[in-house]
Every structure is written in structure tokens, then in C-alpha cells.
Structure 1
Amino acid sequence: MPGWAEDAPGKVVDALLASCLAWSRWPAERSLLPDPSTRGANPEHWRPFCEAALALDREQPRPHLSRRGAPDIASARARDAAFRALFEARLVAMPLGAGLLTGYYEPVLRGSRVRDDEHRTPLLARPRPADPATPASAVLPQPGSWPGFRRVSITGQPLPGATARHEEGAEPWPQPEPLIATAGHGLPAVTPLTGPLLPTRGEIAAGALAGRGLELAYLANPADAFFLHIQGSGRVELPDGKVLRLGYAAQNGHRYIPIGRVMISRGLIAREAMSMQAIRDWLSTAPEAEAGAMMAENPSYIFFRELEGLRPDQGPPGSLGVPLTPGRSLAVDRTQIPLGAPVFIAGRDPVSGEALNRLTLAQDTGGAIRGRARGDLFWGWGDAAGAVAGRARDEARFWLLLPNEVAAAP
């Protein structure tokens, strides 16, 4: 794997242990893949490796901080070397081939809890009509059954949610049921919805759901709300200085139509110039009515829920139910890649064009992420992360890392 020796695997340990914690709580009757006989599909396949990683994490000191607050280089290199040796001794790299690598992020927007002259575009919670559309049944996982992980915890409540998308923007892919949750915590309602379809995006913008008390917050720019729907989660900075964390809760049941394709078909943006930034630029310069009509071409609409218990330095929860790690959490096709598994990627940095070779964890999924050699890398939150994610679209090679005994199985 190109660049394996130069990567810093010590930086992925916390994300790896989060995957292990999720696996330790995985319901015994459920597989990580549709075919339970697939290699790596059983969480128990990962248990020996996870226990070895946890033991090494406790033995190997974390990097010391210098007087300037930066990690000590020598201790960081020692930790990287120790975990690189563990990966090489315990795991086998299975080539997945070449495919497409894109990126996504968590927007940070300014908004308000109340509607005023500036903030008029609402972000809505999932409606509960009199004839309700109900979520599919969900089974709470049992408490962790792996002895080494019974006392391991991660800050924040792991909550289900999917946040991946493709080059023109694809809203979060509804999961068939919550994948993981902290034992003892109630689960929020999530898609898929059954029953009557909810109003379309255009109908909701015209007030079809007004007056039901669904408004979680208001934004000033309708395009910001539109792209928040595409990313699936975000942060809203309120006037009092507080930050509201929002995550995917449900979708209205209507088919997603990428407005980028509509713009190309109408000659508004050239195909070779198409990007999320190009769409945003067009929406920001078009008359309000035209911009609203264009966004309404996509009838799909996302509803949100408030996320609690997350630190400011943590990303939103992905489909595995653990907070995403910038630059290390990857959205994959969960029919092909076991959720939580290590995946090594070899591509190019979307900004510098230099080699981007690193170990990631398959901790999220997406509606447009299809195939073994396909990934969407989480870049973090805020405008800087958004600028990188918006340019991320290039060929990359992928390797799935499986435990030795699993890879050797027939």
C-alpha cells in the first residue's frame, strides 16, 4: 500500500476504539453485512484485534505535549510505530481496486431559535401527523459483552445517522434501522418512513408544515438550509453564543433529484464546471424566486434532530453511531464494507494535489456511495473543511484490512 510506512496510525486509534466499542455492543442477531457469511461480517471476527489494540493503547503512552502545546515528535513516532506493528501483525490488506473518492463536511452556520426579519428559513424536526408515518422497528443493542470494553466509553451519545453524499450532492441515505446506540438511551425516530408521503420541498417552502411547532432554528439564507440538507448534519451558531448541533432525523419520502443535473440540462452551468460551489454561486446570484424554484426541483426534504452530548471537537455521529473523525472517518457502501472496518486509501489531496495515503475507518454510509472501491472522506466542520470537501473528487485505490484469521478463511 503506497504511503503506508509514512502514515501516522497513532492518529486513528481513538476512532478505531470507537469502532471496537460499537462492535462490542452490536446485537448478536445482526450482521455487519447483508450476507453474514462474508468475511468480517461478524463483530466477533474483530474481537481479538480490538482487545489487542485496547491493550496497546493502555501500554503505549500518548504523545507528550511540548511547552507550546504541540505533541512531542518522539513520543508520537513511537506510538505510530507501535500501532503500525500491531496492524501489520494482526491484519491483512485486501485490495478493493480503484474507484472514486469524494469528501463531505459539517457546515457551521449562523441562525436563530426564533424567526425574525433576517432569519426566515426554518430547519424542521420530523413531523408527527395524525396519521403518522412511522419509523421501522429498531432493536436496542445489548450492553457491551467484550470484557475489555465494558468500561470503555466515548464522550457523547452515539446516535444513528448517515451523512454522505456525491459530487452533485445527495442527501443522507435512510438506514433501515438504527445501527447502534448507547445502552439505556432511547432512540429517536429515524427513517425509513412508512405510510403516506410527506409534502415535497416546494410545498414545505410554501408553508405546508407551518404551524406545527416543528421549527428547530431559522437561517437567513435558503441556500444554506438547502446545502445543510445535502450534508445531513451541521452546527448553528445562535445569537447568545450557544451552538446548536443538528443531525439527520428523517426524509420526506420523495425521490432525490440532483439540481446540478437540472442546471446542466438547462445550460445554466457547464458539465465540466459543475460542483457544489458552482451550484451555490448560481443560487446566490439568481433572483430569490428563481433560486427557490430551482431548489424545489429536488422534491426530497430532510428533517433534523438536536444532537446532545457531543464535544465541540467531535464530528457528528455517522451510521456506526460514533462521532466522525476529521480526515479519518470514511463513508462507504455498507453492503460491501463492514461498518467500522479499517480501510486504507491512496489518492490525491484535493487542495495540494499531493499524495493522500492514509488509514481510515468505515464509520458512515451514503446514498450515492456504491461499490467496493468508493469512499467519501469526512473533512471536519466549518468553511475550511467545506472548501476542501467541495474540491474532493478524484480516483483513489482502496484496501480493506481484515483480521488474519478472517482473511485466511475460505
Structure 2
Amino acid sequence: MGNTENMESDYRKFINSLDKIKIDSANKVFEISKILNDNDKTTVNTLMINDVGGYKVVGNLCTRENVAKSLNIKPNELMNHMIKAMENEPNGQLVLDEELEKQYVDDDVKKITDYPIPTYYGEDAGPYLTSGIVIVKDKDEGVNASIHRILVRPDGNLVIRMVEQRHLHYIYNKNIENMIKEGKDGVDVAIVIGVEPALLLAASTSGDVSFNELKYASAIMNKPIKTIKGKTVDLEIPEAEFIIEGKITNKNDDEGPFVDITGTYDVIRKQPVIKITALRTKKDPIFHALLPGGTEHKILMGLPQEPRMFKGIRNTVPSVKNVALTEGGCCWLHAVVSIDKKTQGDGKNAILAALAAHPSLKHVVIVDDDIDIYNPIDVEYAIATRVQSAKDVIIVDGAKGSSLDPSADHKMKLTSKMGIDATMDLIKGKKEFVRAVIPDIK
């Protein structure tokens, strides 16, 4: 391999730059998840486990602060940064790198069961890939990259949870019959594990079916994405610690039970089987374990939705300042929206616009721009001092909501939604609501 063997990837540079809790060793059945969970809310929560069956494992990687650090920006600048990158997505660059290809070693496909893939919770169907970016290609729509949970079966095959409304499901269904007719095993797929946070962020983003998540990742990082050619699939694969190539077949098997973002179990479904055709890793690869229902899971689900919500709200309330999907609301069901209130009805309009922009949203609080939307105490203060329930709370019953909400009516697929206008009453005047400030001492 020559000198390429010692080239340090940006993924590893980023990990090395973080303050971490270091663990000597752990078992991949429950112990990794126990360690991740116990440290999920600590000040320093990124973990490096040095030995899991001979592999290194990193976890709690993509906090809001860490993602911002990887991009050399502040956490409160993330949303505007992503909006600009979305606009620049067509200009993102993917570059084939032959030298990068020399950094990989081949593994026997059966070795997948030796990888440090955790079994997270007691009722899980088995070990699950949770941080893998799934890459497919369609001749009309182009490349699609997305994150899906993937069960590793004892026979070495995989079962992927393919959500019906997602683009992967669309591309798979569009192509699978023709692939089988042509004598192929299924739809070409690559799964990459161990990548920079921007790639995970981009793969978690919902866009048009033609939206290229890999180019978007390039725009987020403002640099080209290095790729290599697949060995057994017709795909360009971004640099990663672990690369799994395979075919998404027309065969189905049980997937689940498995824990979703709310920390509760999802149901068992028949889902497509992936036949592995090649495995490659970097030398001494670092696996990324993503705890289901943990903060990292929530951040990667919610953070990409915030720019979409911001743009939707801005169409109705141009003075919107910021949007946050809160961790207490699983970064999916609850949001706080900051506005510079210009007219008395802005708060109510922002509620309706927020619920429309993110259909899974259940509760939203609208606050003035003097409130820190990332501080739950500050948000609660706004609710306590600026809300009169009879006129400032909007309840919408019988709306379509999130399938992830265990309290919803899943038979009818309906839920109740609520918006709280916790902004200052302009009729009473802002003077009654402005908080006292201690002057600087001269």
C-alpha cells in the first residue's frame, strides 16, 4: 500500500480533535449500548472503545456541538449554514480517488458477523447497523444516500427497514423487477459506516428525489467528497471506514422488533433482504455505533428538518429568526420557533406554518427573539410569563401525524396537535414583558 497506509482521513482527524471518554474494551451485546446510554447526557459524552472483538468503536459522535465543530461554525449557525449548502447542492463535487482505493483491504463476506455491530436492547431481533449510509442509483433520478436501520442475520445476510415514503423505497420498487428479469440478484447497494458528520447529516436530509445527498455533503463541508468505485456494484462510494456492497433482493424476511427514536419498540415487518457481495475496511477501522433513541439519533433525525421548517415558516412570517427541534421532543415531535414579532397575529401564523412545514410535528412553541430556543428553562419562562391559555393556545384534532408517536391513533393514523404562542402581547406593549438587565460596570 505504500504511503497511503498512513494517510489519516478527515473522519479520524475529527475524532482525534474531540474530548472523549476512553473505554478499554466492551462486549457488542448490550455493553456498548449501556456505555453509550450512561454517558449520553454528560458534559463530555463522545466515547472511544478501544477493543470490541479487535475493533475500535466510537459513539455519541454527532451532538449539535460536535457537528458544528466539524464545520468550524457555532451551533446556532448550523441552520443558516445548511440552508446555504442546500442552495449550493448542484455545485457539490464527487471525485474518484485511485490512491484512496489502495487504503482498503478485502474481507470475506461472512466476516460481517465478526464486525463490532451492537445488539442494543433486550428485545432487539439481533445486531443492527444504525449509522450506515445506504447508497443506491437510478438511471433517471441519480444517486440517493439515506440512513436506514439494518438487521444482521446469523446467516450473514441483512434485512433493511425501508420506509414506504422514502426515496430508497421508490428507487428499489422502480428497479427490482427489471433487475430480476435481467438475471441479476437485485438492486446494487453500498452501505458505508464511519464517515464525517456532514455526510450523516446530508444522508438524513429530505429533499426532492433528484436531490443528491452526497453533493449536498460536499456543499456543507465546502470540499469535494472522495469516492472509490464499487468492486461488485455499479456505484461510486464515498470514503468510509467500513464498506459493504450488496444486492437488495426481491426476498423478504422479518425485520424487528427494534427501538425507534422515541425509545419505544417498533413492530415486526417483512422487509427486503440484502445479499452481501463484498466487504472492505480501512486498516484498523473505527466503527461508529449510534444508539437508537439516544441524543445522536435524535440530532441526526431533527437537525436536517430545521432548515426545511425555517423556509416554510419564512413564507408566512418573514421575520422568523431560528428553529429548533428539541431533544425532549425526540427532535421530531416538538419544536421551538423564534420570531421578531412585527404584528399581533405573527405568533399564530407561525404556529400554523410550522405544523404545515413538518407534518410529523406535534407541539410547537413560538417565542420572541430574546428567548434562547436551545434553553428549555428560557422557553418555559416565555410560556409562564407571556401565555394566556384561552387565547394563546391552538389545538388541532384529527390531524395526520407521526407514526413514531406511541400516543397517536395508529389505526386511523391521526393525532392531536398543539401550538403555543409564547410571544409578547403587542397590544399590552413590550415594556411589560422585557426582562430587567443589570448594566455593565464602568
Query: Which structure is higher in RCO with an 8 Å CA cutoff and minimum separation 6?
Result: 1
TM-score normalised by the chain length of structure 2: 0.24
Pair member with larger Rg: 2
